[in-house]
Each structure stands twice: as C-alpha cells, then as structure tokens.
Amino acid sequence: METENLIQIDKGDDPSESILFSPLTPTLGAEVSGLDVANGVPDSVKTVLKQALLDYQVLLFRQQFLNDEQQIEFAQIFGPCREMWQPEHYRSNSKFIHYLSNVDRDGVPVGIHPDRNSTYWHSDYTHVPVPARATVMNAVQVPEDAGKTHFINMYQQYEYLDQATRDRLGNYEAEHHMGFRRAARNKRLPWQWRQARKEGESILSQLKWWTTTFRRRWQDGPVYHPVVRPHPETGRVALFIGDHAWRIKGMFWPAGIRLMNKVNALEIDPGAVYTHKWKPGDLLIWDNGSLLHRLGEYDLINQVRIMRRCVVLDGE
C-alpha cells in the first residue's frame, strides 16, 4: 500500500481541491483529508471513497461535526442504511440513527454501558440474515484516552493460518445469535442462577429471558454465515466469525465453542490491528466484511461517550 495517495477532485492546481489518503498503519486504514462532509460529497469523490473503503477497510475523517441527516447522507454513499433499534434513554428522531451512549437525555452518565458485549471482537449485525456492510460512526463526545475502538484485519488473519486450518474452517458455517452467545457471559445458564440471584436477577426473569430467546430463535429461524467468506465486493477471502457466532453447524457444541474461541482470540498477527483513539468530530467508516472490531473500556460513571452510528446493509 502506498504511503500517501493524492486524489484530485477537480482539474486545476488549487490544493484545496484535492483529497489526501494517509495510511493509518502499513496495512489497514487511511485518514482522508481535504473533504468537508457536511457540505456534501461530489459524485466523482463518492466513487473514489467507495473504492478506498474496499482498499483501506477503515476511513477516518477528522473534524466532521455532522447532524443526523448529514451522517445518513454520507452513509448512503456506500449503500442503503439499516433501520436501527433505539435505546430508551437516548433516542434519535431518525430511524437510521442509533446513539451509542452512557448518558441520559440530560447528558448525565447513567453508569450503564450501551452494550458491554461490544468489548468483544465482532462484526456488526451478523446475527441477522443481512449483516452490516459498513458502519459509520461520528464522535459527538468522547473520553480522553479511553473508549478506543480496535480493528483487526480478517483478510490478514485468514492468510496467517496454515493451509490445513484454512481448509478445515472452510467447511463450516456458524450460527449467529446474540442471546445464545451471551447466555453464559450474562449468567443465564441454570448453574449460574444462584450467583445471578445474588446480583438481583430473579429466577422468573431468567425464565422469561429464555422463553423470549427460544421463541425468537424459533420464529426468526437460524442465521448462518460461512466461517470463511469471500468479501461480497472484493471477492478476497476473509475469516467471518466473531462474538455473535455461538455454534458451528454440524459440530459438537463444545468443540465448536473451542474452535470459535481459538479463532476469536485473534491478534494472531499483531500487524493486523489498528486502534482508533477518538477525538470529537471524528467520522469513521469501516468495512464489516473484512474486519472485526471491539470497544476498549472507559469509566462509565465519570466519563461520557456519545457516538452517532448508522449502518450500511450488506449485499445491496
């Protein structure tokens, strides 16, 4: 990958009419400068950005203080957006926007993580049949030196494996389901109920959780994705697993868990990781088909983290 790549938006010598791609690591990510996203992106640049996302996998734009509509317009360059679930305590008026935050409507930290499971390596929305092609995140307010996002290049992870492991993984599909995957972590298994009860979870709520989880799984049906998947646009093969996968189809469940834990332990190749330290106004888009990501820890009571997110659908 080149160290710098200058793209001329328009003919002429004015440097303000150029976009510069500066790689963030030797193999993953680029900072894009010379573009004010709030003012709209010219059609010629849209084509360049779409290709750049495939090439670099993460694109960073600094100092982009967008509103909901501007962010949706930007995301739609890459494809149609997914309708998002809205948290009770911090809602957007747009169905395509999801605020990830640890604050209430008055901006006061509530001490609750928007989703603790996002601290595990995952690709967004693999638990539904049409997963996320790309995620677009705009930093509204971020803690100093905490709540970073880590990315790992799954093309590289696949290529790092020996041929026998590649062949073995290539035979499998994984079932992705958030509830089943998180059952043990959230103390939902019967032998964990005593401990969960000490922490305030009643047996009745445990039973309700399992009833709802099984009913949804039965109604919606299983969601399978190949463990080894050619990227829908580049065709390059990547490992496509992560935290939402809870069992390998056709494999004894504990053996499947062991295999997934091994693959998800990741950082097999340390050169495949980029860690993003957020600043307010950062606009980041990443390719979920070739990356896993996870959120780093921050102080949920004393620090504020507000991110505006929208998600571009896969396969459109």
Task: Choose the binding region for Fe ion from 54-62, 112-120, 165-173, 176-184 (rule: CB under 5 A).
Answer: 112-120
Closer to Fe ion by CB, 114 or 256: give it.
Answer: 114
Least distance in angstroms from the C-beta of 103 to Fe ion:
19
- Greatest Cα pair distance in the chain: 71
Candidate ranges 60-68, 79-87, 123-131, 199-207; the one touching Fe ion (CB under 5 A):
123-131
- Which stretch, 56-64, 90-98, 113-121, 277-285, contacts Fe ion (CB under 5 A)? 113-121
**Residue 243 binding Fe ion, by CB under 5 A:** no
Give the burial class of 106: count Cβ atoms within 10 A of its Cβ; 0-12 exposed, 13-18 middle, 19 or more buried: exposed
* Letter string b/e over residues 276-285, b meaning 16 or more CB atoms within 10 A of that residue's CB: bebeeebbbb
Of residues 157 and 206, the one with the C-beta less far from Fe ion = 157
* The one segment of 10-18, 26-34, 116-124, 272-280 that binds Fe ion by CB under 5 A: 116-124
| Residues whose CB is less than 8 angstroms from the CB of residue 106 and which lie 6 or more positions away in sequence, other chains included | none
Nearer to Fe ion, 35 or 182 (CB): 182
Identify whether the C-beta of residue 138 lies closer than 8 Å to the C-beta of residue 73. Answer: no
What residues from 197 to 226 belong to the interface with Fe ion (CB under 5 A)?
A: none
Minimum CB distance to Fe ion smaller for 124 or for 175: 124
Nearer to Fe ion, 9 or 112 (CB): 112
Q: By C-beta, is 118 or 165 nearer to Fe ion?
A: 118
Instruction: Indicate the length of the chain as a whole number.
Output: 316
Structure tokens at 136: 């677009």
User: Least CB distance from residue 115 to Fe ion, whole Å?
Assistant: 8
How far is Cα 268 from Cα 160, in angstroms, rounded to an integer? 8
CA–CA dist 139, 100 (Å, integer): 10
Q: Which is nearer to Fe ion, 41 or 75 (CB)?
A: 75
Which tokens go with 95?
Answer: 């169905």
Q: Minimum Å distance from CB 221 to Fe ion?
A: 23
- Cα(49)–Cα(281) distance, integer angstroms: 19
CB of 60 to Fe ion, least distance (A): 16
The C-alpha atoms of residue 65 and residue 82 are separated, in whole angstroms, by 22
Least CB distance from residue 162 to Fe ion, whole Å?
29
Query: Binding segment for Fe ion among 63-71, 111-119, 141-149, 242-250 (CB under 5 A)?
Result: 111-119
Name which of residues 22 to 81 contact Fe ion (CB under 5 A): none
What's the chain's Rg over C-alpha atoms? 20
Question: Quick one: how far is CA 51 from the chain centroid?
Answer: 19
Q: Which residue has the CB atom at the shortest distance from Fe ion?
A: 124
| Nearest by Cα to 53 from 304, 309, 289 | 289
Nearer to Fe ion (CB atom), residue 57 or residue 206: 57
Task: Supply the minimum distance, in Å, between the C-beta of residue 122 and Fe ion.
Answer: 6
Residue 124 touches Fe ion, criterion: CB under 5 A:
yes
Q: Phi/psi class of residue 5: alpha, beta or left (left: φ > 0; alpha: ψ in -120 to 50)? A: beta
Positions touching Fe ion (CB under 5 A) are 118, 124
